[in-house]
Amino acid sequence: MSHVFSEETHRNMLARIPHCTGREISDWLRAVEDGPSLFRFEEKVSWLRHEHDLAYGHAKAIIHEYDLRRAARKLR
């Protein structure tokens, strides 16, 4: 399954996550950072879904945002 998002879809999904989950994006990103060291995108999504009972789309958006921010840190 592809993990490509349009920018608009990704931003819209991120905006809804705090309302749907009761937790801010920064909390979710910290949970991923503190979670197990998984390599593949779908492994991270699966872990987040099962560990925190998230919908697939929410978990996918969180992992995608985590990967984007991690890549941006490496470029600096």
Is 27's pLDDT higher than 50? yes
- The answer to whether residue 2 scores a pLDDT higher than 80 is no
Single out the residue of 56, 59, 53, 61 nearest to residue 10, CA to CA: 61
Query: What's the average model confidence in pLDDT over 6-32?
Result: 95
Q: Is the pLDDT of residue 14 over 70?
A: yes
Q: What is the pLDDT of residue 4?
A: 64
- d(CA 73, CA 59) in angstroms, rounded, equals 21
Name residues whose C-beta falls within 8 Å of residue 29's C-beta, 6 or more positions apart in sequence: 62, 65, 66, 69
pLDDT, position 73: 84
Of 6 and 22, the one with more pLDDT: 22
C-alpha 65/C-alpha 76 separation (Å) is 17
Q: What pLDDT score does 76 carry?
A: 62
